[in-house]
Amino acid sequence: MKIFSAPDYTAMSRKAANLISAQVILKPDSVLGLATGSTPLGVYSQLIDWYEKGDVDFTKVRSVNLDEYCGLAPEHEQSYHYYMKENFFKHINIQMVNTHVPDGLAKDVTAEGHRYDKLIDSLGGIDLQLLGIGNTGHIGFNEPSESFIKETHRVTLKQKTIDANARFFASKEEVPRYAVTMGIGAIMGAKKVLLVANGAGKAEILYESLFGPITPEVPASILQVHPDVTVVGDEAAMAVIREKCPSAID
């Protein structure tokens, strides 16, 4: 595992975007696993900038997103279909037919999970998976649980997750209570994992995830056994790691 500390959010975003652009340059038809939320926005902004300058080409890239809220149509402003289109896809030359997000309107979520896992397999798996980390230690929407769930599945969101995401909605009551998320199997099957974290609020859970016990109660802790993980965080997010394990930071 490689752990990098950046001085601020902009530098963190640039470092992470550099790793993604390098992946695409070296393998133009890469399968990118993509994340949503506030943390990756700077990464996508930097990639858009480099695309506009002609430094990176997304024509052959395929993408699979981690998750989607149950009950939200793709056109809903808080759906992750909409997030990806508005914050990344429409600004680059990726072919929309090559972009994939779980179906939050699927009546049979189990069948949707099987479909999505087969889709990822048909693409040859994920070359690089971008992850954020939630306050509960969740990756994707894999919340603390009694076991690591391998398959794409429906999850009941924890109250801490609902509270954290309420800022994107008009009220906390409007935040969906369920989501369909890529399982731990597909995430851990990615050839490379890139985890980004920013802000003091992520410092303790980031340390716990990377250096604490491997347990489904802290889903991100499973990344400790992945063979190729890079973590990029700003100084605030790295504060606890810097205090307790300073030698771990590159």
Q: Which of 51, 49, 50, 42 is CA-nearest to residue 12?
A: 42
* Cα 103 from Cα 2, distance rounded (Å): 33
Q: What is the CATH number of the domain that holds 134?
A: 3.40.50.1360
Domain of residue 201 covers: 2-248
Enter the pTM of the model.
0.95
pLDDT averaged over consecutive 10-residue blocks of the chain (250 residues)? 97 98 98 96 98 98 97 94 98 98 96 98 98 95 94 92 87 91 97 98 98 98 98 98 94
* Cα 63 from Cα 59, distance rounded (Å): 11
Torsion sign over Cα 3, 165, 45, 94: positive
Count of residues in the chain: 250
Pairing of strands 128-131, 192-197: parallel
Give residue 118's pLDDT: 98
**Element (DSSP H or E) covering residue 87:** helix 80-87
Count of domains for the chain: 1
